[in-house]
Amino acid sequence: MKKIQIRIAEDGKFYAETMGIKGNSCLSYIKMLEELLDAETVDSTFTEEYHETEIQTFQEQQQTVKGD
């Protein structure tokens, strides 16, 4: 499951951590969060998931059409 955990410190700073998002696609989630909050990332630490590759599987569908 993909999710972003957000923590707001007493000084008003936001801290966000992506979870379940492999590879550099996490950066697009952080970019979206920056836009929503009108914020800017000032420091980043990459998780182990950043260095992993997301594998996507596709199920092939086969249809048979019967003519008259």
- Residue boundaries of the structural domains of the chain: 3-51
Q: What is the pLDDT of residue 37?
A: 86
By C-alpha distance, which of 44, 34, 37, 30 is closest to 2?
30
Contacts 24+ apart (CB under 8 A), 25-30: 25/54, 26/50, 29/2, 29/4, 30/4
User: For 8-66, how does the pLDDT look when each residue is reduced to its tens digit (9 = 90+)?
Assistant: 999 988 898 988 888 888 888 889 988 998 888 888 888 888 887 766 555 666 666 66
